[in-house]
Amino acid sequence: MTLSRREVLDLLARHEIRPSRALGQNFVVDPNTVRRVARLAEVGPGDRVVEIGAGLGSLTLALAETGASVTALETDRRLVAVLRDVVAGTGVDVVEGDAMHIDWAERLGDGPWVLVANLPYNVATPLVLQLLEDPAIVRMLVMVQREVGERLAAPAGDDAYGAVSVKVAFWATAAVVGSVPATVFVPRPNVESALVRVDRRSTPAVDASIDRRRLFALIEQGFGQRRKMLRRALAGTVDASGFARAGIRPEARAEELSIEDWGRLAACNG
Residue after which a domain boundary falls, among 200, 229, 246: 200
Q: Do 70 and 146 belong to one domain?
A: yes
The reply to whether 206 falls in a domain is no
Number of domains in the chain: 2
Domain co-membership, 180 together with 226: no
Query: Cα(58)–Cα(10) distance, rounded to whole angstroms?
Result: 13
Give the residue from 256, 258, 222, 216 showing the smallest Cα distance to 237.
222
In this structure, the answer to whether residues 134 and 233 fall within a common structural domain is no
In a shared domain, residues 156 and 259: no
DSSP 8-state secondary structure symbol assigned to residue 221: H
Same domain, 89 and 185: yes
Residues of the chain with pLDDT under 70: 270
- The count of other CB atoms within 10 Å of the CB of residue 80 is 18
CB 186 within 8 A of CB 134: no
Report the CATH number that the domain containing residue 195 is assigned in CATH.
3.40.50.150
For the domain that residue 244 is a member of, what is the CATH number?
1.10.8.100
- Considering the domain architecture, whether residues 195 and 236 belong to the same structural domain is answered as no
**Which of 169, 200, 231 is the last residue before a domain boundary?**
200
Give pLDDT, residue 270: 64
Given 200, 235, 259, the domain boundary residue is 200
Q: Is residue 63 part of a domain?
A: yes
234 within some domain? yes
Whether 205 maps to a domain, the answer reads: no
- Please check whether residue 168 lies inside any domain of the structure: yes
Q: Same domain for 219 and 175?
A: no
- Report whether 156 contacts 256 (CB < 8 A): yes
Please indicate, yes or no, whether residues 241 and 166 belong to a single structural domain of this protein: no
What's 170-219 look like in SS3?
Answer: HHEEEEEEEEECHHHEECCCCCCEEEEEEEECCCCCCCCCCCHHHHHHHH
> Would you state the pLDDT for residue 36?
97
Same domain, 219 and 255: yes
Condensed to tens digits (0 to 9), the pLDDT of residues 96-138 reads 999 999 999 888 988 899 999 999 888 999 999 999 999 999 9
* Other residues' Cβ atoms within 10 Å of the Cβ of residue 207: 13
* Residue 66 within any structural domain of the chain: yes
Residues 178 and 57 placed together within one structural domain of the fold = yes
Does a structural domain hold residue 174?
yes
Q: Report the pLDDT value the prediction gives residue 137, as an integer from 0 to 100.
A: 96
Q: Which domain holds residue 259?
A: 212-267
pTM for this prediction = 0.93
Could you tell me if 144 and 249 lie in one domain? no
Judge if 53 and 187 occupy the same domain.
yes
* Inside any domain, residue 52: yes
* Amino acid 268: pLDDT: 87
